[in-house]
Every structure is written in C-alpha cells, then in structure tokens.
Structure 1
Amino acid sequence: MKKSFNEIVNQEVPVLVDFYADWCGPCKSMAPVLKQLKSELKDTVKIIKINVDTNQSLAAKYQVQGVPTFMVFKNGKQTWRQSGMQSITQLKQVLSV
C-alpha cells in the first residue's frame, strides 16, 4: 500500500525529503551521498525522493524553486530546508537534531 506524503512525514523519525529531477546533474551527484547517509544512519532516518516533474502539485505546495531541494520533517513539521548540493556532514547535523 502506498502511503501519502503526509503519512510519510508524520513520523517520529526524521524524514529527509529530496526534491529532485531526472535532468538535474547535481541531483544525480547527491544519489551516492544519500545512499551513504542511509547506510550510516540506518533506521534512525527515512529518506524519500520526490520527482518535481511528476509531483508538480507537491513541489508547488512547498514552493520548490530549484532542484535539488532538501527538507527535513519530524512529526509532520518541517524543521529544516536547503536548496543545492549538501555534504553528508551537513545532512547528518540537521538529522541529529
């Protein structure tokens, strides 16, 4: 069963949302960083990718202007947001809050 975006971000564990596009070079560069982040943090974090081209209404709701745009949600509340490439160190810091 597919969960809605709200169901996914309404969890106690931090949810890192990656708004990306298939044509975006920096988005592709972030893929191995996110994979490493998930392998290091395991179940203490949830990472989801949202394609802005196929989820335009969601991208518009969160006013995503550029890709990649990253957001962190905890218990349904947005706690952090940043556009552009992020280092694994930066991501770990915002997820450990």
Structure 2
Amino acid sequence: MGQHVTDADFANQVLASDKLVLVDFWAEWCGPCKAMDPILEQVAGDLADKVNIVKLDVDSNPSTVTQYNVRAMPTLMIFKNGQPVDMKVGAGQSRVQLVKWLETHAA
C-alpha cells in the first residue's frame, strides 16, 4: 500500500511536495499499523488528486523518526509546504474521519 519513503528520500518525497502529504509512521511488528493499511489505501484512492500518502518504516529510518519525535505507532503526520501541520497517534480513525481530517488541511 502506498509509496514507501526513507530517511534518504524524505526531503524530496515529503518536504518538497507541492501536495499535502500524509506520512504513516509504521513498523512491521505493529498490529494496529497493519489494521490501518486498508483504511489508508481507501483514503489514498478517495483523495489521490489532493493528498499523497506515504509510509515510513520506523525501524529502518531512525533519523526521520527522531527528527519528528515519533514515539508510538502508528503515527499519522500531515505535512504541508514542507512543514508538519498536524498529527494523530494510534489506529482509532475511520476512513470518514481521516478524509475529513485531511480535507481540513487540503483546503
């Protein structure tokens, strides 16, 4: 699901994007992260023209995780114009809630 980013290409794929970017900070061992995958996939389809959704594996990319102080998985962080503007921690969001959340920042 979604495009994967790393420490090496985070600046190009996320910070330099002209679209809103939702970064899913996840881990292979994280059950709630896997539970969010189908929801994020639906949202990516719903908002493909407004939002890029990317995944960052926290175990393989410690620099970005440290830079943005990510301490729990999943963490969903919205970036706009190269800056983090909002985040949610945990897997409690429905597709409808995520779409509404993203649309408030895409406007």
Partner of 1:71: 77
Match of 1:52 in 2: 58
Partner of 2:95: 88
Q: Which residue of 2 aligns with 1:24?
A: 30
- Give 1:11 deviation, angstroms: 2.0
Q: 1:43 aligns with which of 34, 42, 49?
A: 49
Equivalent residue pairs, number: 96
Retained in 2: the 8 A contact 1:80–1:94? no
Q: Which amino acid aligns with 1:95?
A: L
2:56 aligned with 1:61: no
Distance 2:42 2:23 in 1: 15
| TM-score, with length taken from structure 2 | 0.82
What are the superposed Cα offsets for residues 57-95 of structure 1, whole Å, 9 maximum, x if unpaired?
A: 111111111100000001101111111012222221221
For 1:7-27, what per-residue CA distance to the aligned partner results, in whole angstroms no more than 9, with x for missing partners?
Answer: 222223110000000000000
Structure 1 length-normalised TM: 0.90
RMSD: 1.6
Letter in structure 2 aligned against 1:25: G
Gaps of at least 5 residues in structure 2 are none
Identical-pair percentage: 44
1:13 and 2:27 aligned: no
State the alpha-carbon separation in 2 of the partners of residues 79 and 94 from structure 1. Answer: 12
SS in 1 for 2:18: coil
